[in-house]
Structure 1
Amino acid sequence: MTKRNKIIYWIATLWLALGMLSTGIVQLIKMDNEVTMMKNLGYPLYILTILGIWKILGVIATLLPKLPLLKEWAYAGFFFAMSGAVFSHLANGDGGKDLFGPILLLVLTFVSWYFRPADRKLISVNL
C-alpha cells in the first residue's frame, strides 16, 4: 500500500468514524431534530436506538485492527443505512440540505472501504 493510499484511507476512515459516531450518539439520545426528522420520514422512533447502537458498534469495528469479516459487515451496514437515508429523503421530497450528510457519509464509506490496507481486507479464496 502506498503512502498516499494510506493517508486517503485514514482521512476517510477518521471522518467516517466521526460522522457515524456523532450521528449515532445524537440518535441514541433522541435529540429533538432527529425525532422530528424521523417522524417526518414516517419511521417509528425506536429506529433511532437501533441505528445509534449499530453505528457506534460499526465505528468500533472499523477502527479496531484486524477483524476483516467484522469490518466488511460494518461497511455494509454503513452503506445500507446511508443509502437508505438518501432514498428516504428523496422519497419524502426533502432538499439538498437533508441529503448532504447521508451522501457525504456514503462517499466516505466507499473511500474508506476501497483504500483499506490488506490486513483489514478479507482474504480471497479461489475454490
Structure 2
Amino acid sequence: MKKRNRIIYWVATLWLSLGMISTGIVQLIKMDEEVANFNTLGYPVYLMTILGICKLLGTVAVLLPKLAILKEWAYAGFTFTMLGAAISHLAVGDPMITLFGPLLLLVLTIISWSFRPPSRKIVKLEPKMTIETPL
C-alpha cells in the first residue's frame, strides 16, 4: 500500500510541477495568447509576473525535501490560484473547455497534497503523558 501511495504522489506531483512550471514560464514571458487571456478575464498584465514567480517558487517548495510549512503554503497558493482561474473563466462566460487546465491542476494539487509522504508533512508534536505512581 505504501508503494502505491508513493507512486501516486510522485506521478501527481511531477505532473503538477510540469503544469505549474510551464504556465509560470508562459506568464513570465508574457506570451501573446496569455496576455489576451488576462485581458479577457479583466486582470492587469503585471499580475502575470506575480503569478509566474509564485508558481515557480511554489514548485520548488513542493519538490524539495523538508520545508513542510512552506509546502503547505505552496499547496494552498496553487489551490487558490486554480480555483480563482476556474471561477474567473466562468464569470466572463468563457467556454467550458477553458476550465480543463485549472481544474486538472487543482485535482493534481489535491492528489499530491493528499498522498505526500510523512517526511513532507508538518509534524504534529503530541505532549508526552506520564503517569506518576505514588511511592
Band of TM-score, shorter chain: over 0.9
Residue 131 of structure 2 corresponds to: none
Please, what is the CA RMSD of the aligned residues? 1.1
Residue 116 of structure 1 corresponds to: 116
Over the matched positions of the two proteins, sequence identity in percent amounts to: 66
- Count of aligned pairs between the two proteins: 127
Q: Which has the larger radius of gyration?
A: 2
Q: How does 1:26-45 map to 2 (within 5 A)?
A: 26-45=26-45
The CA deviation at 1:106 is 0.2
Measured against aligned partners, the alpha-carbon deviations of 1:10-60 in whole angstroms (never above 9, x if no partner) come to 000000000000000000000001000000000000000000000000000
Residue 133 of structure 2 corresponds to: none
Structure 1 unmatched ranges of 5 or more = none
Residue 24 of structure 2 corresponds to: 24
Residue 132 of structure 2 corresponds to: none
Q: How does 1:69-80 map to 2 (within 5 A)?
A: 69-80=69-80
Amino acid at match of 1:82: M
Structure 2 unmatched ranges of 5 or more = 128-135
Q: TM-score, structure 2 length as denominator?
A: 0.91
Tell me the distance in 2 between the aligned counterparts of 1:27 and 1:67.
26
Q: TM-score, structure 1 length as denominator?
A: 0.97
The CA deviation at 1:95 is 1.4
After superposing on structure 2, the runs of 4+ consecutive aligned residues of structure 1 that deviate more than 4 Å are none
Amino acid at match of 1:114: S
Residue 99 of structure 1 corresponds to: 99
